[in-house]
Amino acid sequence: MLISHLQTIKSALQRWGDEVLVKEDIIKAWICCHEERIRLIHKRNIVLPLVPPSGLCRLELSSCIVTDGALAVCLEGLTSLRSLFLKEIMTLTALPSQDVLQQLTKLQDLHVNSCWCLRSLGGLRAATGLSAISLWSCPSLDLAHGSVFLPLSLRNLHIGHCVVASDFFCNDLSHLRVLSMEWCRSSSSLSIGHLTSLIGLSLQNLQDLCFLEGLSSLQLVDVDLTYLPNVNMKCISQLRVNHYLSVSSSVMLNYLLLAEGFTVPGILGLEGCNERSFSFEESSDFSSVNCLEFQDCEISSLPQNLKCFSCLSTLRIVGCPNISSLPDLPSSLNYLWVQDSELLKRSCQSPDGESWPKIEHVRSKYIY
367 within domain boundaries: yes
Chain segment 76-96, per-residue pLDDT in tens: 889 999 999 999 999 999 999
Percentage of the chain lying above the pLDDT 70 cut: 86
28 within domain boundaries: yes
Residue of 112, 67, 117, 62 whose CA lies nearest to 90 = 117
Chain segment 250-296, per-residue pLDDT in tens: 889 999 999 988 999 999 999 999 998 888 888 889 999 999 999 99
- What one-character DSSP code corresponds to residue 252? H
> Residue 289 has what pLDDT?
97
Instruction: Kindly state the average pLDDT of the residues 124-146.
Output: 90
> Residue 172 has what pLDDT?
74
Of 23 and 204, the structure prediction assigns the larger pLDDT to: 204
267 within domain boundaries: yes
Task: Give the C-alpha separation, 62 to 85, whole Å.
Answer: 8
> Residue 104 has what pLDDT?
95
Provide the mean pLDDT of the chain: 88
Confidence of residue 178 (pLDDT cuts 50, 70, 90): very high
Of 231 and 11, the structure prediction assigns the larger pLDDT to: 231
> Residue 149 has what pLDDT?
86
Instruction: Kindly state the average pLDDT of the residues 118-125.
Output: 93
Q: Which domain does 34 fall in, by range?
A: 2-42
Instruction: Kindly state the average pLDDT of the residues 117-140.
Output: 94
> Residue 35 has what pLDDT?
64
> Residue 144 has what pLDDT?
73
72 within domain boundaries: no
Instruction: Kindly state the average pLDDT of the residues 209-220.
Output: 92
59 within domain boundaries: no
**Contact yes or no for 335/313 (Cβ under 8 A):** yes
What's the Cα-to-Cα distance from 288 to each of 25, 93, 101, 324, rounded to whole Å?
50, 50, 47, 28
Chain segment 5-54, per-residue pLDDT in tens: 445 544 544 554 444 445 556 666 666 766 666 666 555 544 556 778 88
What's the Cα-to-Cα distance from 135 to each of 53, 66, 132, 174, 269, rounded to whole Å?
26, 18, 10, 20, 27
> Residue 27 has what pLDDT?
61
> Residue 170 has what pLDDT?
73
321 within domain boundaries: yes
Confidence of residue 3 (pLDDT cuts 50, 70, 90): very low
Write out the E strands in the chain.
Answer: 58-62, 83-87, 109-113, 132-136, 156-160, 163-164, 178-182, 185-186, 189-191, 200-204, 211-213, 220-226, 241-247, 267-271, 291-295, 314-318, 335-339, 364-367
What's the Cα-to-Cα distance from 164 to each of 64, 116, 167, 302, rounded to whole Å?
27, 15, 8, 37
Instruction: Kindly state the average pLDDT of the residues 228-241.
Output: 92
**Is 50 exceeded by the pLDDT of residue 2?**
no
Chain segment 315-328, per-residue pLDDT in tens: 999 999 999 999 99
> Residue 6 has what pLDDT?
45
Instruction: Kindly state the average pLDDT of the residues 295-305.
Output: 94
Domain count, the chain: 2
Percentage of the chain lying above the pLDDT 90 cut: 67
With 0-12 CB in 10 A as exposed, 13-18 as middle and 19+ as buried, what is 122?
Answer: buried
Residues 6+ apart with CB under 8 A from 284: 257, 258, 264
Looking at the DSSP assignment, which residues form a beta bridge with residue 293?
269, 316
Q: What share of the chain is helix, strand, coil (3-state, %, to 5)?
A: 25, 25, 55
- What one-character DSSP code corresponds to residue 126? G
79 within domain boundaries: no
pTM of the model: 0.86
156 within domain boundaries: no
- Assess whether the previous peptide bond of 330 is cis (omega < 30° from 0): no
**Is 50 exceeded by the pLDDT of residue 164?**
yes
